[in-house]
Amino acid sequence: MSKPKIRVLIVDDSAVVRQTMSELLSADPEIEVMATAADPFVAADRIAEQVPDVITLDIEMPHMDGLTFLQKIMSQHPIPVVICSSLAGEGAESALKALEYGAVEIIAKPRIGSKQFLQESRETICDAVKAAASAHVRVHRPSRVVEPKLTADAILSPASHAMVETTEKVVAIGASTGGTEALKILLEALPADAPGIVIVQHMPELFTRAFANRLDSLCKITVKEAESNDTVLRGRALIAPGNHHLLLKRSGARYYVEIKDGPLVCRHRPSVDVLFRSAARYAGQNAVGVILTGMGDDGANGMLEMKQAGAVTIAQDEATCVVFGMPNEAIKRSAVDKILPLQSVAGAILAHAR
């Protein structure tokens, strides 16, 4: 018996986007476009007729904005939602709020040439819909008040155990579908003097800066979008910029990062495998590797290399994952030392970093 197709409802006020999305999704043998809607009110009628498996949702629409519609969906009839959003500042901020409200993925709208962009992004969009279809939809978790961060002077002072030896631990984290909220929970739990962290989260270009800024406002540690030659420091997390690979490097006792262009690796750029392999090479047993929720197998082979190089490796457990794909693939490869619920990962990182 053949597997049922994933039924998708496309909600977007642009007729060009609706048509192109329909064409590229329908071309995938695993996906069926159930219906399209130009605004949330039409979408509500479509859902009343037949409940889709996945909704692709524009943020800026007439009559009712996408965020309000998303909140109504999640409170009344939770359905996996993929946000189709603008790359610009306010669009990125709204898309990140949508992830907090329960959306599971972001795909980027182009600044110009929507049809061409969407055709070139066929693989990314189909993967996002498939990931959403297998996702466990989560409830919105309110953010907490943040204590003041350490100053740069405090981070670098000898009293706070600055990076003066190559035995300093470095934490490499990889995540995809559901990872934005998982990273928020994990990083919020870390103290201001946590070990230096490097992160790859699958996310479109220009969303990562808004994401880093959002986390920075919520966490005790400092969080920023990584730039080439940024030093990996205690109390700071560096997030790979969208559409660029992030590599960990070392010069003497100093760990730093390098931002690289290049082909997709495991269907992604940035790729978790690229980060983990560089951590295996340059940090070895001084590294802690963490693989979080996500679709596919990106990071599984790189985590195995980290383990073989002496690093401690941790995978998020199935019960707390939105999608158990990436952690499960790492577990299958015997690349994981510990399988933990998300709420226990921060404690495990700190225990191994001491």
Give me the active site residues, please.
176, 202, 298
Could you tell me which residues come within 8 angstroms of residue 244 by beta carbon, excluding any fewer than 6 positions away?
205, 259, 260, 261, 269, 270
Q: Which amino acid, residue 309?
A: A
Whether the upstream peptide bond of residue 158 has omega within 30° of 0, thus cis, is no
Whole-number Å distance between alpha carbons of 68 and 75: 11
Tally of CB atoms within 10 A around 48: 9
Count CB neighbours of 261 within 10 A: 8
74 Cβ neighbours under 8 A, 6+ residues apart: 101, 102, 137, 139, 140
- Measured between alpha carbons, how far is 159 from 216 in angstroms, rounded to an integer? 23
Q: Which of 267, 273, 265, 216 is nearest to 239 (CA)?
A: 216
* H helix count then E strand count, the chain: 13, 14
User: By C-alpha distance, which of 104, 329, 219, 322 is closest to 313?
Assistant: 329
DSSP-assigned letter for residue 170? E
What phi and psi values does residue 87 have, to the nearest 5 degrees? -80, -15
